[in-house]
Amino acid sequence: MEKIYQMEYRGLNLFDEISTVELAIDEAKQTIHIFDVGQVVSPIFNFDVSAYELSDGFYKMADVLRHKKILTNQQAGSETLSEWLIKNNAYFYIPKKRIKKYMQGSIIEIIDQAKEQWLFDDYVQRV
């Protein structure tokens, strides 16, 4: 049976207010599930390249997780944030039934939730 750890992260949202993000971390699948109502770490759309990209809030949160040795190889202490991000996946559960997936450096929006097998059901039901 897989083990999923749940925790909260606090950061500044788009309005510079402190907001809370819920995290469910699946170490076996190297995946972070992020329920982000306050848009603290959600991907942002870059109009210059017409694509989503990771936000500064996400990079700050990811760096905290990496330093706490979450989803890291305990023996590899010199892993950079970029290396840590490439090794791990993230699902962003955003209000209005929007789910985005970060995998190997790119972000895609999940259109058909039934076809995506690694979603975290507790967060899917809440968006």
| pLDDT in single tens digits along all 127 residues of the chain | 368 889 999 998 878 889 999 999 999 999 999 999 988 999 999 999 999 999 999 999 999 999 888 887 655 567 888 889 999 999 999 988 789 999 988 999 998 888 888 999 999 999 8
Domain span at residue 28?
Answer: 4-126
Strand order in the sheet with 98-103: 4-12, 18-26, 31-35, 89-94, 98-103, 106-110
Beta bridge mates, 99: 93, 110
